[in-house]
């Protein structure tokens, strides 16, 4: 039996191309025989033509070039550049002359409103003194930053066009895209004019606390801030990073999902950081052993190991030992998938969660609330005579832990700033270091930290956590 089918439907999962193709070309009849000799060659150019041009024409005008510059002051002299004199005088500023040096960088952005709001990456415009935006039609504007969100690596710029309408992108939903869907990445790699690359959605995951879409569409230096578009021309992500050992594209790129873009856009005009929901749980993947013990057919979901007191999960009635199976009807396979879905929901609303408890299914209404300072931060600049003099510390509250990408369950006191001209900076302490002990005394809050630091007079042994490592340093008076 001979079967009619559209050749392009074998190549694309989207119906728009097949529909357009079918309107213009009579499908070729092909035998279902295993022999390739029975197949006929294309009889027209339209039968071999596959083009993303219609989508590019719609989306490319909304993608812009971003050029930034900042003035960096360096103090140097020809004399002090000589290692011989440095050996004797060090970096004596009296012998050096301040000089201004201009640092320039480039990136991309996407216009998301007719009023001139542009979304880009935080690292593209960070610490910039001047930002210029060049549109696809060569119009150029100076832009100002109206919102920064380092946590999600997003920034919102504003331009004020004097004349002419601005093209802007429709913001879609990254959640609606599935693994394997075709996507286009549009940006300005290496400062070149607009470049379009295609690929698929490779994964959705969390990487170092950031929620990202992974794609194999080629992304290079300068693409940061550009758009990731679906086959309907909707913005589903902002290209932000690549995994590469050489600096070039290896087919592993990451984009901030459009749901994050919407959250940051909603906070424009507010002095507060964007409000993103949090879970208030510590969980792990369900292993086959856990699944068997709980009578679960498949090892999927998130096993709740710990609940933050009075956190969202605790308020919702979850218990240690519960297995979170679904959120709003979507299957949860691991902790990163759970974090991704919750983080892309709007704070102040509720979501439906399906859990397994003692072999029975339960449905729970889960409040989506932003992390708060349930523990007062008590931000303090440390004084006195000890190794941490000059550092700024605070109690680790849920809100602060989220801001610094730390584990809220660690608790304790964290260094929020270690200025360069202070002793803690010279000793190697960094922002985000969590102070655990002083001379074998556990530190629970800022008051205990200051008391232990000031009580020691001859030697301080400081234990602290950085990332997943526990480090220790010993300092004598």
187 touches 63 (CB < 8 A): yes
Q: How many CA atoms lie within 13 A of 124 on its CB side?
A: 38
Copy the structure tokens of residue 251. Answer: 């087919």
Phi-psi region of 363 (alpha: psi -120 to 50; beta: other; left: phi over 0): beta
Phi-psi region of 34 (alpha: psi -120 to 50; beta: other; left: phi over 0): alpha
393 touches 414 (CB < 8 A): yes
**Catalytic (active site) residue 363:** no
Q: How far is CA 91 from the centre of its chain?
A: 39
Copy the structure tokens of residue 46. Answer: 């339209």
- Residue 412: which of 461, 378, 388 has the closest Cα? 378
- Residue 356: which of 308, 316, 319, 312 has the closest Cα? 319
- Residue 323: which of 339, 352, 299 has the closest Cα? 299
- The SS3 of residue 445 is coil
**Catalytic (active site) residue 153:** yes
424 touches 390 (CB < 8 A): yes
List 9, 13, 113, 123, catalytic entry = 123
Copy the structure tokens of residue 291. Answer: 């699944």
Copy the structure tokens of residue 448. Answer: 């205990």
120: β partners: 155
List 149, 153, 216, 322, catalytic entry = 153
How far is residue 406's CA from residue 450's CA, in Å, rounded to a whole number? Answer: 22
**Catalytic (active site) residue 244:** no
Going 326 to 329 to 334 to 336, the CA torsion angle's sign is negative
**What helix, strand, coil percent values describe the chain, rounded to 5?**
20, 35, 45
List 152, 169, 224, 397, catalytic entry = 224
CA distances from 442 to 97, 376, 435, 461 (A): 47, 19, 9, 12
| Sheet bearing 97-111, strands edge to edge | 140-142, 130-134, 63-76, 97-111, 117-120, 154-158, 144-149
Copy the structure tokens of residue 107. Answer: 């990136």
CA distances from 195 to 60, 120, 198 (A): 9, 16, 10
Instruction: Write b or e for each residue in 188-201: b if 16 or more Cβ atoms lie within 10 A of its Cβ, otherwise e.
Output: bbeeeebbbbbbbb
Looking at the annotation, which residues are catalytic?
123, 153, 224
């Amino acid at each position: 039996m001979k079967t009619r089918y559209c050749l392009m439907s074998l190549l694309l999962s989207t119906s728009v191309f097949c529909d357009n193709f079918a309107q213009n070309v009579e499908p070729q009849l092909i035998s279902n025989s295993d022999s390739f000799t029975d197949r006929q060659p294309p009889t027209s150019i339209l039968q071999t033509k596959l083009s993303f041009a219609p989508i590019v024409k719609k989306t490319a005008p909304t993608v812009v070039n971003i050029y930034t510059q900042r003035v960096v002051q360096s103090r140097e002299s020809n004399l002090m550049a000589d290692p011989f004199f440095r050996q004797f005088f060090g970096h004596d500023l009296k012998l050096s002359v301040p000089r201004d040096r201009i640092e320039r960088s480039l990136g991309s952005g996407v216009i998301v409103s007719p009023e001139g709001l542009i979304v880009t990456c935080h690292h593209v415009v960070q610490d910039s003194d001047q930002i210029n935006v060049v549109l696809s039609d060569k119009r150029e504007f100076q832009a100002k930053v109206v919102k920064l969100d380092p946590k999600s690596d997003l920034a919102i710029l504003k331009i004020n066009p004097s004349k002419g309408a601005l093209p802007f992108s429709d913001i879609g939903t990254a959640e609606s895209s599935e693994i394997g869907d075709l996507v286009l990445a549009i940006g300005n790699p290496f400062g070149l004019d607009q470049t379009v690359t295609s690929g698929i959605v490779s994964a959705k995951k969390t990487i170092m606390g950031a929620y990202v879409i992974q794609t194999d569409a080629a992304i290079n230096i300068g693409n940061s801030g550009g758009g990731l578009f679906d086959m309907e021309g909707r913005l589903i992500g902002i290209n932000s990073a690549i995994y590469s050992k050489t600096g070039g594209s290896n087919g592993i790129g990451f984009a901030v999902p459009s749901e994050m873009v919407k959250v940051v856009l909603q906070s424009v005009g507010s002095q507060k950081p964007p409000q993103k929901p949090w879970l208030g749980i510590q969980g792990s993947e369900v292993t086959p052993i856990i699944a068997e013990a709980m009578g679960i057919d498949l090892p999927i979901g998130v096993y709740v190991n710990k609940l933050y007191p009075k956190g969202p999960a605790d308020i919702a009635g979850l218990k240690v030992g519960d297995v979170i199976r679904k959120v709003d009807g979507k299957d949860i396979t691991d902790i990163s998938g759970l974090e991704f879905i919750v983080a892309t929901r709007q704070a102040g609303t509720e979501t439906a969660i399906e859990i397994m408890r003692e072999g029975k299914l339960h449905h729970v209404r889960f409040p989506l609330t932003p992390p708060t300072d349930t523990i007062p931060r008590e931000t303090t600049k440390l004084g006195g005579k000890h190794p941490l003099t000059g550092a700024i510390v605070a109690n680790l509250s849920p809100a602060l832990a989220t801001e610094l990408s730390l584990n809220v369950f660690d608790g304790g006191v964290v260094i929020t700033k270690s200025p360069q001209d202070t002793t803690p900076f010279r000793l190697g302490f960094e922002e985000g270091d969590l102070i655990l002990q002083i001379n074998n005394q556990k530190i629970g809050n800022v008051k205990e930290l200051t008391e232990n630091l000031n009580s020691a007079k001859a030697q301080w042994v400081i234990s602290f956590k950085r990332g997943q490592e526990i480090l220790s340093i010993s300092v004598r008076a």
